[in-house]
Structure 1
Amino acid sequence: MTNVTKSTLNEAEFPKPTLISVNGVALEVFEAGRQNAGKPIVLCHGWPENAFSWRYQVPALVEAGYHVIVPNQRGYGNSSCPAEVTAYDIEHLSGDLIALLDHYGYKDATFVGHDWGANVVWGLTLLHPGRVNGVVALALPYQLRGEKPWIEFMEEFFGSDHYFVHFNRQPGVADVILDENTARFLRNIFRKNVPQKAPEPGMLMINLAKAEEPLGEPVMSDSELAVFVSAFEATGFTASINWYRNLDRNWHLLADANPIIHQPALMIYGDRDMIPKFERLPEFVPNVEVVNLDCGHWIQQELPEETNETILKWLEQQNNS
């Protein structure tokens, strides 16, 4: 098992991208370990991140014998950014990943997702169970499909200032503010060991974009942060925020899916993350193993070695079972 420390990897060593046409879009894909063809693992980033958020996992997975495929999903980096909001629903996002498997000639793969990437992987597994042989989710657990669409429920429960609700009910407002303050917003959101305090009034993401001073400690170096900043300065934030604008649509699209996920799954929580853990997870994902790490939301970037060890140990167990 490899030990990857924060000093051994930088943006210059991340795999060079290829633009691959799939599902009506072009995806910027970072690939490593082609010599391990036959053991695919697909890494799906969250928001506001991109493929580079997996920089510490790629070499460890290659060394462990995997063909590692890391797309910038639609709306990110040099991948296509369709104008239509509905182009970012779960059918399109999961369809991109299925088409990527087809491109490489794979029937199925293990899918790893962090944050929004985890949401996509859960949805992909519900819609296309035959194409997924294992699930690794970081930060975001399986989301129970309740009686009300998700945004409608959140608006009642959390109010109109909750950023999921705000993105949907006030389209374009936050986008402009984030675009105008890209570097500051990303500097302020990619933090760890943030002190606990009462939430401020207003919308969290807009507050972060306007805050003069960041809290806690930086998750990454300035040169690493610059990779994300330059990517979002080029695309703006609207395409990536459009993922949020499809949550109620996704609720309808998943209506007929069997809600039980039978594939082996690994759920990695950060104990200091503000996303709540889902106590009923084993009801819906009966073959799940749950691991808690002492970190915040940016799990694989905050604790790269521990994340790698956790994932590699679980993968080894699946291979031996």
Structure 2
Amino acid sequence: MFNPTDFPKPTLISVNGVELEVYEAGRQNAGEPIVLCHGWPEHAFSWRHQMAALAAAGYHVIVPNQRGYGNSSRPAEVTDYDIEHLSGDLIALLDHYGYEDATFVGHDWGAMVVWGLTLLHPNRVNKVINLSLPYQERGEKPWIEFLEEILGGDYYFVHFNRQPGVADAVMDKNTFRFLRNLYRKNEPLRAPEPGMAMINLANAETPLGEPLMNDSELAVFVSAFETSGFRGSINWYRNLDRNWRLLADVNPIIQQPTLMIYGDRDAIPRSENLTEFVPNVEVVHLDCGHWIQQEKPEETNEAILRWLEQQDAS
């Protein structure tokens, strides 16, 4: 298990009108940047198992807490968390370090940001590695309307938008319980419960499956969200329809070499037409749930490093 005291100390960096809390490894490898983008409700610490391995392989590893997370800025306006702002933060981070482009790695919402960043700023992204969330094809209807029709008003994406502030308050009140119950692995299959899944998790007395991490690792996430609250991070969801509009006119095809890593027991569905939108993609499956890089750190590192080596050789 990882000892949190081994995690690097962060720097606060001013970019794009906000301050980002940024963790680094391998600064001596200037010129080979790789930027790791966490998901929800996570933290740069979710990449703790990857940082040293990537630095040892010759990369300058840059891991921001994105806006709304950790000690990074938490702007008040919901629209300050749209894809233009989130990708703009990452571009400004590249500018800060003097990099033309970088390899970007995303998990969960971080993958959504990396897909969007690559569409909006294709010349700043040289390679894409995404975990869990495949490329999402832009449909005819805005996302929340589409999801509400299929999955109903209790689906958490919809609930976050239709009932702003309700879930945020429940999670803020039950931060430890929510994160303890969420960060699990080997969970038994079960029928969906009525109600809103994230509120149910925040209120559930007993977690299912096995803990994903030890108590001191979990404490890093709990402490971060006890400080920040959940509103800023949930505001990412409240921009799904805005992002749908912002991406209306971009070329939807991602040309960069791409690695897509799925967890075979992840609830997020696979993409059936990934190669239509990401023609240069290689797909890897790992035997795990949603928290891929934390549940299977060695296998994740091996898949990423093997693929990067192949790209450098080609």
- TM surpasses 0.5: yes
Amino acid at match of 1:214: P
Choose which of 68, 72, 77 in structure 1 pairs with 2:70.
77
Aligned: 1:88 with 2:81:
yes
SS in 2 for 1:143: coil
Q: 1:175 is matched with which residue?
A: 168
For residues 290-314 of structure 1, what are the alpha-carbon distances to aligned partners after superposition, in whole Å with 9 as ceiling and x for unaligned?
A: 0000000000000000000000000
| TM-score, scaled relative to structure 2 | 1.00
Query: In the TM superposition, what are the counterparts of 1:297-308 in structure 2 within 5 Å?
Result: 297-308=290-301
CA distance in 2, matches of 1:217, 1:120: 29
For residues 181-225 of structure 1, what are the alpha-carbon distances to aligned partners after superposition, in whole Å with 9 as ceiling and x for unaligned?
A: 000000000000000010000000000000000000000000000
| 1:11 shift after superposition | 1.2
SS in 1 for 2:63: strand
CA distance in 2, matches of 1:67, 1:319: 16
Aligned: 1:229 with 2:209:
no
Q: 1:142 is matched with which residue?
A: 135
Choose which of 12, 15, 20 in structure 2 pairs with 1:22.
15
Q: 1:284 is matched with which residue?
A: 277
CA distance in 1, matches of 2:97, 2:4: 25
Amino acid at match of 2:64: P
Q: Percent of aligned positions with the same letter in both sequences?
A: 80
Q: 1:10 is matched with which residue?
A: 3
Query: In the TM superposition, what are the counterparts of 1:130-209 in structure 2 within 5 Å?
Result: 130-209=123-202
Aligned: 1:47 with 2:40:
yes
Aligned: 1:114 with 2:92:
no
Amino acid at match of 2:308: L
Choose which of 96, 113, 116 in structure 2 pairs with 1:123.
116
In structure 2, the gaps of 5 or more residues are none
Choose which of 41, 59, 65 in structure 1 pairs with 2:58.
65
Choose which of 28, 31, 49 in structure 2 pairs with 1:56.
49
CA distance in 2, matches of 1:34, 1:259: 34
Q: 2:31 is matched with which residue?
A: 38
| 1:89 shift after superposition | 0.1
Choose which of 205, 222, 227 in structure 2 pairs with 1:212.
205
Choose which of 289, 305, 308 in structure 2 pairs with 1:312.
305
CA distance in 1, matches of 2:60, 2:44: 15
Q: 1:275 is matched with which residue?
A: 268
RMSD: 0.4
| 1:10 shift after superposition | 1.8
CA distance in 2, matches of 1:173, 1:291: 37
SS in 2 for 1:62: helix
Q: 1:261 is matched with which residue?
A: 254
In structure 1, the gaps of 5 or more residues are 1-6
CA distance in 1, matches of 2:110, 2:120: 15
For residues 100-145 of structure 1, what are the alpha-carbon distances to aligned partners after superposition, in whole Å with 9 as ceiling and x for unaligned?
A: 0000000000000000000000000000000000000000000110
CA distance in 2, matches of 1:289, 1:10: 33
CA distance in 2, matches of 1:127, 1:164: 23
Amino acid at match of 2:269: P
SS in 2 for 1:252: helix
SS in 1 for 2:283: strand
Q: 2:245 is matched with which residue?
A: 252
Question: How many residues end up aligned between the 2 structures?
Answer: 314
For residues 253-282 of structure 1, what are the alpha-carbon distances to aligned partners after superposition, in whole Å with 9 as ceiling and x for unaligned?
A: 000110000000000000000000001000
| TM-score, scaled relative to structure 1 | 0.97
CA distance in 2, matches of 1:207, 1:168: 17
Q: 1:294 is matched with which residue?
A: 287
CA distance in 2, matches of 1:209, 1:119: 24
For residues 226-263 of structure 1, what are the alpha-carbon distances to aligned partners after superposition, in whole Å with 9 as ceiling and x for unaligned?
A: 00000000010000000000000000000011000000
Amino acid at match of 1:181: N
CA distance in 2, matches of 1:224, 1:307: 19
CA distance in 2, matches of 1:273, 1:123: 22
Q: 1:103 is matched with which residue?
A: 96
Detail structure 1 runs of 4+ shifted over 2 Å in the superposition.
none
Amino acid at match of 1:188: N
SS in 2 for 1:212: coil
